Amino acid sequence: MARVACIGECMVELRQAQGGQGGGLYSRGFGGDTLNTAVYLARLDVNVDYLTALGDDVLSEEMVAAWAAEGVGTRRVVRLPGKLPGLYMIQTDDKGERRFFHWRESSAARRLMDVPETDEILNSLTSYDLIYLSAITLSIYDDAGRERLLSAVKRARLLGTRFVFDTNFRARGWPDLDVARRVFDVAFAAADIVLASTDDLLALYPGEAHADLMARIPGPELVFRLSMPVSLLRFPGGTSEVRAEPLNRPVVDTTAAGDSFAAAYIAAKLAGSGPVEAAQAGHRLASLVVCYPGAIVPAYAMPPKKRRRPPTPRQATK
């Protein structure tokens, strides 16, 4: 079975209670873009490890236990005594659109590229079939940390590991746009698959047309999600446009729509699907996720798994 490494940061999530526009009650959970993707990958029966750093506090313990319960591997989680996870708060409007407020400047995850265990973590990347990280992952490290991580990813690719880069972009995480553009260029050049969106790239390259934004990404496979539920695909041998099916339920919360899309896309690719079928799977899962509050939907809400046909006696003896 293929093995995936998701790299990034999970934070404590405070989610505004429904109907609480004026403040008041919040529920506590955990979330982070690449962690959300890791959980959905595990729910889609992908063998996935989460690579990050946490503290030795009660909240960090709860996080690791929750990931393990979801089937996410935690053996690559570095524990840093005295440190804490970051915190973010979500507010959503009546259309399900969300605003984020972060407290993460001294979180444990930011130290992952500068601890005694860093070399072991980076060397382990060669043991995975696929590495997934996002622009948010890269934004939490300094220049030296980003260089160490991307160099390790490139080494792993030389041994056959595939690299998927998600352009999930938050301007407040970068010192300035020029730094972000330089880092994006390096990640684009190294990636086997880029999962991008108009919201992310127009924030970096304001006013550019879709074709110009896509031309900035030289990699062999590109999924470019538009502001509407449509993806433009570019892959070896062709291009395509994939539209999501119309929703028959109201949108409650768009948190993790892109993260769940990424998980379903990667899972489908690992199962042998082509880009078009993988994008269709991504849109289906994202369309389900936005109908529930928070980043991770209840397990019972996940779509039923496809049953695999049992092997025939002839196949079983091969």
Check pLDDT > 60 for residue 275. Answer: yes
Rounded to an integer, what distance in angstroms lies between the CA atom of residue 268 and that of residue 277? 7
- Give the model's pLDDT for residue 96: 58
- pLDDT tens-place string over residues 30-71: 889 999 999 999 999 999 999 999 999 999 999 999 999 999
Q: Helix and strand tally (H, E) in the chain? A: 11, 13
- Give the model's pLDDT for residue 204: 96
Amino acid at 109: A
- Give the model's pLDDT for residue 306: 62
Residue 208 lies in a domain: yes
71: left (phi > 0), else alpha (psi -120 to 50), else beta?
left
- Give the model's pLDDT for residue 317: 32
Mean pLDDT value across residues 106-122? 96
Check pLDDT > 90 for residue 314. Answer: no
Higher pLDDT, 22 or 291: 291
User: Considering all CA atoms of the chain, what is the largest pairwise distance in Å, rounded to the nearest integer?
Assistant: 65
Check pLDDT > 80 for residue 22. Answer: no
Mean pLDDT value across residues 227-233? 94
Residue 318 lies in a domain: no
Rounded to an integer, what distance in angstroms lies between the CA atom of residue 152 and that of residue 119? 9
Residue 311 lies in a domain: no
Amino acid at 298: P
- Give the model's pLDDT for residue 97: 67
Residue 96 lies in a domain: no
Residue 93 lies in a domain: no
- Give the model's pLDDT for residue 3: 97
Residue 252 lies in a domain: yes
Token pair 């507010």 in the structure block, residue: 91
Domain count, the chain: 1
Q: Rounded to 5 degrees, what are φ and ψ at 214?
A: -65, -35
Rounded to an integer, what distance in angstroms lies between the CA atom of residue 49 and that of residue 68? 10
Tell me the average pLDDT of the chain. Answer: 91
Three-class SS of residue 168? coil
- CATH code, 113: 3.40.1190.20
DSSP structural state of residue 89: E
Sheet containing 26-31: give its strands across.
26-31, 11-16, 87-92, 98-103
Residue 89 lies in a domain: no
- Give the model's pLDDT for residue 294: 78
**Of 33, 49, 166, 259, catalytic:** 259
Reported as type and span, the H/E element at residue 150 is helix 143-158
Query: Comparing 84-93, 133-142, 305-314, which segment has the lowest mean pLDDT?
Result: 305-314
DSSP conformation letters of 186-243: HHHHH-SEEEEEHHHHHHHSTT--HHHHHHT--SSEEEEE-SSSEEEEEETTEEEEEE
Question: What is the extent of the structural domain holding 73?
Answer: 3-10+32-78+107-299
Question: Could you tell me the sign of the dihedral formed by the alpha carbons of 132, 38, 305, 226, in that order?
Answer: negative
Residue 188 lies in a domain: yes
Mean pLDDT value across residues 106-131? 97
Check pLDDT > 60 for residue 114. Answer: yes
pLDDT band at 161 (very low <50, low <70, confident <90, very high): very high
- pLDDT tens-place string over residues 245-255: 988 888 887 88
Residue 114 annotated to the active site? no
